[in-house]
Amino acid sequence: MRILLTGASGQLGRQIARQGTRHQIAARDHQALDITRLDDVRLAVASAKPDLIINAAAFNDVDGAESNPDAAFLVNEAGPRNLAIAAVESDAAILHVSTDYVFDGEKRTPYDEDDPASPLSQYGRSKLAGEVAVRAATPRHYVVRTAWVYEPEGKNFPKTLFALSRKQKELRVVSDVKGSPTSAAHLAAAILDLIETDAHGTYHLAGGGDGASWFELATHFFRELKTDVTLVPVSASEFPRPAPRPRYSVLRTIRQPRIVLPPWQEGIAELARQLKTQSGESVQ
């Protein structure tokens, strides 16, 4: 399969490019392709001649979107629309990556694909608008919602914890926000499985299990690292942010084919091993 991949320098984009070796992947980062420019998108699609476009590009500064919603909507709504338009024109399918932040967090059981979206933030609204634009443009779409993505090279919460633990022996971690921690490597593998099915629609692909709070994630992470750090559970209200976040956004899938990622604990354990190796520490 010929694939045009946008957002190739991001956490997920890197993993898709690495794992998708059985496909012909034309990987484009933001410098190579600005998805907000329809003419540029059309040129890229004409060059790559893809059977499928995977959009892993996003404006993902959640707090920045509150003060600059136009920029967020340009990338997260207009960008996917441009890609979907070009997909239709070139007879290609499109896979668009979205987020758990399209939900308001008022539910206390995992969100499935049929639950109504009700985003709290400008970021969430912009991502939902991108979903709507893709669905409206073509029936040959996959919309993949995921959450709390991490991998060894990216900027993410576990890596921030890892860096802080090298300077502090006590860390305060939010315990009343719960979601689905997701390994970018596991997510990429699931996406590569999904695109083989031609089962177009909306899918939740996130770390398996019943989800975790940030505190539970941190506890498991440091246990795997075998690092002596004291974790203090605190409320999200102690860390006020410009953008509201859903307090509960665990994802599950009810779609067929039912693609379930490994338990989130496995991804965190793998990340801990990778970070220890990178830092020159022995892996036990």
Residue 219 within a domain: no
pLDDT digits (tens, 9 = 90+) for 142-187: 999 999 999 999 899 999 999 999 999 999 999 999 999 999 999 9
Domain presence at residue 215: no
pLDDT < 50 stretches in the chain: 283
pLDDT at residue 57, as a whole number: 98
For every residue of 54-76, DSSP letters joined together read: EE------HHHHHH-HHHHHIII
Within a domain: residue 236?
no
Q: How many CB atoms lie within 10 A of CB 117?
A: 17
| pLDDT (0 to 100) of residue 113 | 98
The per-residue pLDDT for 278 is 85
- Calculate the alpha carbon distances from 101 to 43, 66, 139, 149, 151 in Å: 32, 13, 23, 13, 20
CATH number at residue 94: 3.40.50.720
The string of pLDDT tens digits covering residues 67-102 is 999 999 999 999 999 999 999 999 999 999 999 999
Count structural domains, the chain.
1
Spot the catalytic one: 123, 142, 150, 203: 123
- Residue 279 is assigned to a structural domain of this protein: no
What is residue 181's predicted lDDT score, i.e. its pLDDT? Answer: 98
Q: How far apart are CA 122 and CA 117, in angstroms?
A: 13
Q: Indicate if 248 belongs to the active site.
A: no
Q: Which domain holds residue 59?
A: 2-156+180-210+251-262
Take residue 4 and report the two structure tokens written for it.
Answer: 């045009």
For residues 161 and 246, what is the distance between their CA atoms, to the nearest angstrom? 21
Q: What is the pTM of this model?
A: 0.96
Res 284: pLDDT? 54
